[in-house]
Copies of this chain bind each other. A is one copy, B any other.
Amino acid sequence: MLVVMQAGASPEQISRVIDAIKSLDLTPHPLPGATRTAIGITGNTGAVDSRQLEVLEGVKECIRVTKPYKLASREMHPADSVVDLPQGRIGPGTFTIVAGPCSVENESMVMKTAEFLVANGVKFLRAGAFKPRTSPYAFQGMGLEGLKILKKAREKTGIGIVSELMDTEHAAAMEEMVDVIQIGTRNMQNFSLLKRVSQTRKPVLLKRGMSATLEEWLMAAEYVMAGGNYQVILCERGVRTFSDHSRNTLDLSVVPPARSLSHLPIFVDPSHGTGKRAYVPAMSLAALAAGADGLLVEAHPEPDKALSDGAQSLDFKGLQALLASLRLMAPLLGRKMG
């Protein structure tokens, strides 16, 4: 259920509604918007008579939400969400680039990459310290050492850090050292992990599960939001189908329905989506045209020497060329490159 406050409702009025919801043994989720505040309600609302809340001062109306996800739904929050970060805002009117290597390999390559990105106007660096690998015998990432290197790059260049969290054990360290916590495709329904990141103050970039429907994906976002962390960024990264022309089937067609059903920003990862460097630029432009809010794109100083996923990484020259094309196209679509 959703309580929509009047445009001019006072903080005290909002506060009283929140108390009233709590007194019904339900959980209020205040969702401030540009013109008015809405308050989502989770818990068993089946038995609640909405008139109890509608009579309170400052309340415009009560709406029963019919989707199984509530906090993530556009019904509940009609305006596009914004995720504010020290390096810039993510969301409406912007197109944000997050670039970097698949994994942290050593300090020098991370520094080199961070400096290159900053010099080229890219505000966020992605790199994995903990790597989910199909084989137990493959390189599993540098772990905490890797996180420290990322932190150093942030301190030196000011670049925002996006990195994947694989388990609750490392959540606190991650929380301290990165700007955006990434939940990988294999953990989209690792509900214990989702509950843990719902407790952090850092935005969460939630990759779509390899065979997740849009509803399941939004339900996973709902897990994070229901715990109180409303800063969720969706990220399409390719789904699993019969199709074998690329590593996964990058599902750009999910962008318009996701934007229609949810207010959350949505990114696209064309690198994992295609698995092949040569296809990344075309799919990046297509992601922008399809309405995505940003890209997660792999770039590596020397892709052919990468410890993981080199085949899908752009080199620096390739990334520069892509950025140039995006910069030309973004204004036509009402976006400012971020």
Contact = CB atoms under 8 A, between A and B. Distances in A.
Interface stretch (A15-23, A52-60, A79-87, A128-136): A128-136
Interface in A254-308: 254-258, 260, 273-274, 276, 278-279, 282-283, 285-291
A192 interface: yes
A137 B43 CA distance: 7
A289 B242 CA distance: 24
A135 B189 CA distance: 10
Contact of A192 (B166, B241, B251, B285): B166
B286 A252 contact: yes
A243 B252 contact: no
Contact of A254 (B192, B210, B243): B243
Contact of A283 (B69, B187, B253, B258): B253
Contacts of A109: none
Contacts of A43: 137
B241 A246 contact: no
Contacts of A256: 274, 278-279, 282-283
A214 interface: yes
B289 A329 contact: yes
A216 B282 contact: no
Contact of A245 (B169, B193, B254): B254
B137 A283 contact: no
B257 A279 contact: yes
A211 B211 contact: yes
Interface string A203-222: 00000001101111001001
Nearest to A284: B289
B239 A243 contact: yes
Contacts of A189: 132, 134, 186
A201 B318 CA distance: 42
A199 to B, nearest CB: 13
A85 B293 CA distance: 39
